[in-house]
Amino acid sequence: MPQRIRVIAGVFGGRLLQVPEEGTRPLADRVRQALFAILEPRLRDARILDLCAGSGAAGIEALSRGARHVQFVEKSRRASEVIRRNVMSLGLATQADVQTADALSALRDQVSRNAEADLIIADPPYDDVDLRHGILELIGGSPSPLSAHGLLVLSGRRIKGQTAQGAPTGLRLVRSLTYGETGIDLFEPDGAEDVR
């Protein structure tokens, strides 16, 4: 039987989502709950880019809590199909686009179209350090796919005692969270008013 996780809160709170059988690592419920408690003030009518989306749980959680639109980006075709099923089962087809692509290509496409997101959530595989650095560089670049008052949420493995890495040019680290081996860093565009 396929693994399932729950939407934590909002309009779809308690609803079950399918999870791809392999190749993805959904954020634990307690991590999503803590993260979205922080993000809640930013979600109303937000345009969101969910990179390395896996099951789509993060983007769907945002839609459940009032986000306007989510573009899901997932490299795995199988996982993309799971996201599509999750979106359809909740009646969210008009508020979501699912793109089967790698995260860096999707970010470059956003830049080329001058498309900006209010919130970018990126949950790359823990062992793909190059992808993490590439995401930071593209979002910190100019032009950026992140709006001037937007927020980047970037997760990764945090070894015990390790601190968050510094921000690249164009971004500043505003908050760092650690839950077990999961580290989540929140970045804003450099020069944006700090609205923690």
Superfamily for the 4-189 domain: Vaccinia Virus protein VP39 (3.40.50.150)
Nearest C-alpha neighbor of 121 from the set 14, 11, 32, 7: 32
Q: Where are the domains of the chain?
A: 4-189
Q: Which two tokens stand for residue 59?
A: 């983007």
> Euclidean distance between the first and final Cα of the chain, in Å?
41
For 5, phi then psi, to 5°, come to -130, 165
Q: What is the pLDDT of residues 87-106, one digit of tens each?
A: 999 999 999 999 999 999 99
Q: pTM of the full predicted structure?
A: 0.91
| Contact in structure between 48 and 104 (CB atoms under 8 Å) | no
Give mean pLDDT, residues 58-85. 97
DSSP 8-state class, residue 168: P
Q: Which two tokens stand for residue 120?
A: 């970018």
Supply the mean pLDDT for the chain.
Answer: 90
Nearest C-alpha neighbor of 119 from the set 183, 29, 59, 65: 59
Q: Which two tokens stand for residue 88?
A: 């359809």
Q: What is the pLDDT of residues 158-194, one digit of tens each?
A: 755 555 566 778 999 999 998 888 889 999 998 765 5
